[in-house]
Amino acid sequence: MTSASPRLVEGSVAFLGLGVMGAPMSGHLASAGRTVTVYNRTAAKALAWVAEHGGRAAPTPAEAVEGAEFVMMCVGNDDDVREVALGPNGAVSGMSPGSILIDHTTASARVARELAAACASVGVGFVDAPVSGGQAGAEKGALTVMCGSDDEEVFERARRAVGPYARACERLGRAGAGQLTKMVNQICIAGIVQGLAEGVNFAERAGLDVDRVVEVIGKGAAQSWQMDNRASTMARGEFEFGFATEWMRKDLAICLDEANRNGARLPVTALVDQFYAQVVARGGRRWDTSSLVHLLQND
């Protein structure tokens, strides 16, 4: 950071990445009265967002973050994070001392720690803040935000900033803890969705009415969010909802890589990841995660 860094403007926001999650999340910030500067690698998306929500679009991350107190980022993977935050014309190079980078990307704990160190070296706060709730949660402004930060005060400022799209926001530990918690979330979801897929397929083959079965067992110990929201569409073979299979595979790869480092055993997660690979091979790259049932219905 040089002495020429723009002076921080209190309350100002930049949002980097306007995909299926970032576009509605940043939209909630605008609806809450924030003036938002946006950046997207496909510039047309940024211009379309501005046409709908106001604010302005910037051609590079460094220009987008000039003077911003809070910079939210939601991109694809570790390489994208490094490019947008630390690459040529990256966000960190343009941020003002005292500002905070909040990374909503689901990425590795390793890259979160890299960003924390890079931000600290230039007087910028950092929070790794992956989210759960999917596209529907982003559109409703009802995401769960899992955070890691080396500074409690930085986290508290970030928690207030993400309020327009978060129904819950908690700090789980130092930098990287948010990403590790998101890994736990995805590990649990993988097993639940596979179990639900097997149950739905079993009910179908047994000649039962799936909706009635789910209505009954959903009042007991088998109940889950996935059952409430995906059992019926599974039975109908509809997979155009929520989180895409290709992104789940990306997340599970992060989980399995971390497990190789920390010694955790993830036999079910590894198996479900291979099932998702089969879904992708059948053309289901963009089907949602409930498409595991397709392998059972069409074996």
Give me the catalytic one of 45, 140, 182, 219.
Answer: 182
Q: Is 297 within 8 Å of 197 (Cβ atoms)? A: no
Q: Is the four-CA dihedral 158, 160, 166, 171 of positive or negative sign?
A: positive
- Give the separation between CA 103 and CA 114, rounded to whole angstroms: 12
Q: Verify whether residue 182 is a known catalytic residue.
A: yes
Nearest residue to 84 (alpha-carbon basis) of 25, 138, 19: 19
Phi, psi of 69 (to 5 degrees): -75, -40
- Give the separation between CA 22 and CA 74, rounded to whole angstroms: 6
- Give the separation between CA 99 and CA 90, rounded to whole angstroms: 15
Hey, what amino acid is at 6?
P
- Give bridge partners of residue 57 from the DSSP assignment: 38
Q: Is 268 within 8 Å of 194 (Cβ atoms)? A: yes
**Three-class SS state of 70:** strand
Residues that are catalytic: 182
